Amino acid sequence: MSKSGLFHSDGQPFNPARFQGELQEGVMKLATNHVEKVAGGILCPVHHQRPTVTRTATGWEVHGCCEQLKEATRKAFGDQD
């Protein structure tokens, strides 16, 4: 039995490392869903294609049919560089 009396939703005794991992994965899922939603609303004005955004170890990579689409996608996420 857990000393703290706390349990995970599956009934297992509370484990701080497990909780941290689950929390981080939950945050990444929410962020990924947001990225997909924003990117899905962008359309290349020249080629009429949508960008793809790939999750990496440090963030996301933007892919698209042309530099104009990639730049529009970056701006939609607030990247002004």
Q: What is the pLDDT confidence band of residue 4, given thresholds at 50, 70 and 90?
A: low
| Range 40-53 average pLDDT | 94
Give the torsion sign (CA, 63, 77, 29, 60): positive
Length of the chain: 81
Q: Does the residue 30 lie in any domain?
A: no
| Range 36-49 average pLDDT | 93
Q: Does the residue 16 lie in any domain?
A: no
Residue with tokens 């689409």: 69
Query: Domain count of the chain?
Result: 1
Angstrom distance (rounded) from CA 47 to CA 73: 14
Q: What is the pLDDT confidence band of residue 1, given thresholds at 50, 70 and 90?
A: very low
Angstrom distance (rounded) from CA 25 to CA 15: 16
Q: Does the residue 24 lie in any domain?
A: no
Q: Does the residue 75 lie in any domain?
A: yes
Q: Does the residue 57 lie in any domain?
A: yes
Q: Does the residue 72 lie in any domain?
A: yes
Residue with tokens 């970056």: 74
Q: Does the residue 17 lie in any domain?
A: no
Contact 39, 50 (CB under 8 A): yes
By residue range, what is the domain housing residue 64? 43-81
